[in-house]
Amino acid sequence: MRCSSFAQLLVLCTLTIFASELPAENATQASIARQRFNQVFVKVIVPVTERTPKQDGPVVESWVVEQLKEMGESEYFAVTDWVPVCDGLLEDAEIDNRVWSGQLDGNKSGNFCPVGGDVPLREKGRVLVLVGGFTPVGGEASITLLDEPGSRAVEPVRLGAGKEVKRIEIEEGLPYVAVIIAPPPLPGATKHGDVE
């Protein structure tokens, strides 16, 4: 028994040494580009209504609270944490920009359609973030920010293309989207945020 364990250990050590000597693969253009771009994170916040009663959820940051108060919202809850939105400009078939399933807790809660996000435009120091879904007819929050770490904003989900100052009646009760820009990922960071 001891001999077979020793032989297995010897084979494992030999394979480990051999594998560590293999050359690393070259980085792809998409992975190089991703390292240069600032990261975009979004959070979905739902106002409390008869259809969407207050629920426990992630913390709503103070800067988000202030902007929601300015828009006339006094009761709300977050349904997502900060979710990364990958850049749609990159050629990467593995991009998954699902932001929220649209499901709320409880029998009496209304549900929304699944929500996805995209970063379709980066130019002249600005970034466009689209977060859409929410309703069968398609609701969307369109946010343009400075492409600098620390830039942040909160925008309501709208049904139409207009940019009216106040929501129309049918839009009341639709969620809000908070967006924050973070620095590019650290070298050696993986998809899941672990640093090697």
In the predicted structure, residue 194 carries a pLDDT above the cut 50: no
118: which strand partners?
A: 130
Q: What average pLDDT does range 11-36 have in this prediction?
A: 55
Cα separation values, 15 from 12, 21, 134, 164, 187, Å = 5, 10, 51, 65, 27
Number of helices (H), then strands (E), belonging to the chain: the values are: 3, 9
Cα separation values, 47 from 75, 115, 152, 169, Å = 6, 16, 20, 14
pLDDT tens column, 101-154: 888 876 656 678 888 998 988 999 999 999 988 887 778 899 999 999 999 999
In the predicted structure, residue 80 carries a pLDDT above the cut 60: yes
| pLDDT grade for 37, boundaries at 50, 70 and 90 | confident
DSSP assignment of 118-147, as one string?
EEEEEETTEEEEEEEEESTT-EEEEEEEES
In the predicted structure, residue 29 carries a pLDDT above the cut 60: no
Q: What average pLDDT does range 62-86 have in this prediction?
A: 92
**Comparing C-alpha atoms, which of 159, 156, 178, 173 is closest to residue 44?**
178
> The pTM is what?
0.72
pLDDT tens column, 47-68: 988 888 888 889 999 999 999 9
Residue showing tokens 């792809």: 28
123, with CB counted inside 10 A (0-12, 13-18, 19+), is exposed
| pLDDT grade for 18, boundaries at 50, 70 and 90 | low
Q: What average pLDDT does range 166-188 have in this prediction?
A: 78
